[in-house]
Structure 1
């Protein structure tokens, strides 16, 4: 376990999960303290020792790029709305809207997938389940993504157990709400100006925002037009990068659950840089959620700092998703 000390990486540690999973008490206690401290400051962590094959991530990127570079008229047959399944074309989202900021639409395209098993409750099914839409032009994408999402579900449960212990609570305090969770999975393509043209003033690849759910697991690429995170101490800073690591950030629901002890990680993705305008990046973003109907109540003091009114997890998530949709 190491923690960067340079000013450009403020209080965002890299945590090796292997000592945690091995169960050595002193190592686990040290990791729990580091997690608690970091999530109070920025809402971000980097994790290694997660066991997810990097070659799998590479294959998903290759298959996804084959889709994104298809003619627009081919991609349009897979058009989805925000929170749906399929292709989100240019201009579909403006994440800055979630902060009440009227920004130009985000400079990206996405393939978006979600919960792959239906629920028993037809009302829940109607809102939170539909078959994923897999592009027939890249048939390998389905197998690759389903394998990846299995790994993400396993990793999410491990992370939630770690988070429960980091708060001094039961290890299953959060993970027990994962019997049949929803999730979102976006493959975000950030092309260069040769594809999207020159950015408008105030336009980003993804505008400033926080995520909405529990934990987000991000596999990203380094770039000049890449991820920035917000801390009170440093303002906007380039996020630390480790090609072997996943970037983890908390969402609004988890911040609320912890009574604002932990931060929902505010972040943005910069537009293509002026000195590398054709830079192209791709991110794999897993948005962890919980079982529909979970009642989220703030952990009481002294752990929690704010006592929010209890909410139904997915009523809350739907309001957030609706807020970023460009009409």
Structure 2
């Protein structure tokens, strides 16, 4: 099985609206991918390879700094796990494994007057990317609603405050440093098996290492497709759609023995508003109602050491 690749050009950020027939074709392909796999590559989204590389460059500039220069930007200093630096082995996404061999910088607060890393144009580049990813995410939600014959406001109405303190959506910069095999703990990975928490995730990556679990339980390698964005369903969206859309587990493996390569990626986690009440769209009681804030923050705190 391979992860499907879908041309999103008809509804890219460069288009103001999409005619009925292209939307029908797009939503049909999305439904097949998100119900059968839970992951899909989107190409021709309007977010360019140059934009992706610019964010990855700023991310690398931050992570290359010594830990003592990154420590003032720890999430603990913001008293908010949705914003700030998460140091190597501070997070454990699979509770059955040792902590993950990765660093992160979460951007959930966008105000220019808070403390930002001393990286040139860091705030400008990351916040611009946040808003571009947000707009693409909302377009994706519209197409997803169309694929289930729903009014788009069913999804969009729960994401009115993305980019404010009333919504926990974030841009997450991820860095996987070189691995010293002599120090790796038994069963430790760069990122343990997990599923994402919220609505949808947009992932931008510069090299391989990510694997996705198929419905049969097999893990498959995820390629890097220049210019394409990897999309996956989060657990809240699976609940919301009564399991019509699939939130698939995924992980990041250690590099091959003897390899010293690093890995960079940037994820945009689109989450429902804090007070949005998520109930099954089919009217069933398959999952109990839950607010976006209660569900997402519970999962975040559970992952931290």
Calculate the TM-score normalised by the size of structure 1: 0.84
Which residue number corresponds to residue 172 of structure 2? 186
Contact 2:48 2:227 in 1 (8 A): no
Match of 2:157, SS?
A: helix
Contact 1:160 1:172 in 2 (8 A): no
Q: What do residues 221-264 of structure 1 show as CA deviations (whole Å, max 9, x unaligned)? A: 222xx110011236111124311110000111100000111111
Query: Is 1:16 aligned to residue 2 of structure 2?
Result: no
Post-superposition shift, 1:15? 1.1
Distance verdict in 2 for CA 1:174–1:115, change over 3 Å: farther
Query: Is 1:286 aligned to residue 268 of structure 2?
Result: yes
Where do 4+ consecutive residues of structure 1 move more than 3 Å?
130-133
Distance in 1 between residues matched to 2:280 and 2:52, nearest whole Å: 35
Query: Is 1:264 aligned to residue 247 of structure 2?
Result: yes
Q: Which runs of 5+ in 2 are unaligned?
A: none
Distance verdict in 2 for CA 1:64–1:250, change over 3 Å: same
Which residue number corresponds to residue 94 of structure 1? 92
Contact 1:221 1:282 in 2 (8 A): yes
Which residue number corresponds to residue 196 of structure 2? 211
Contact 1:273 1:279 in 2 (8 A): no
Contact 2:207 2:264 in 1 (8 A): no
Q: How many residues align?
A: 293
Which residue number corresponds to residue 289 of structure 2? 310
Distance verdict in 2 for CA 1:323–1:249, change over 3 Å: same
Distance in 2 between residues matched to 1:317 and 1:63, nearest whole Å: 27
Which residue number corresponds to residue 107 of structure 2? 113
Distance in 2 between residues matched to 1:175 and 1:273, nearest whole Å: 42
Calculate the TM-score normalised by the size of structure 2: 0.89
Q: What do residues 255-305 of structure 1 show as CA deviations (whole Å, max 9, x unaligned)? A: 000011111121111112215x2111100011001221111001227xx7x
Contact 2:98 2:188 in 1 (8 A): yes
Query: Is 1:83 aligned to residue 81 of structure 2?
Result: yes
Superposed CA RMSD: 2.1
Distance verdict in 2 for CA 1:78–1:312, change over 3 Å: same
Which residue number corresponds to residue 144 of structure 2? 163
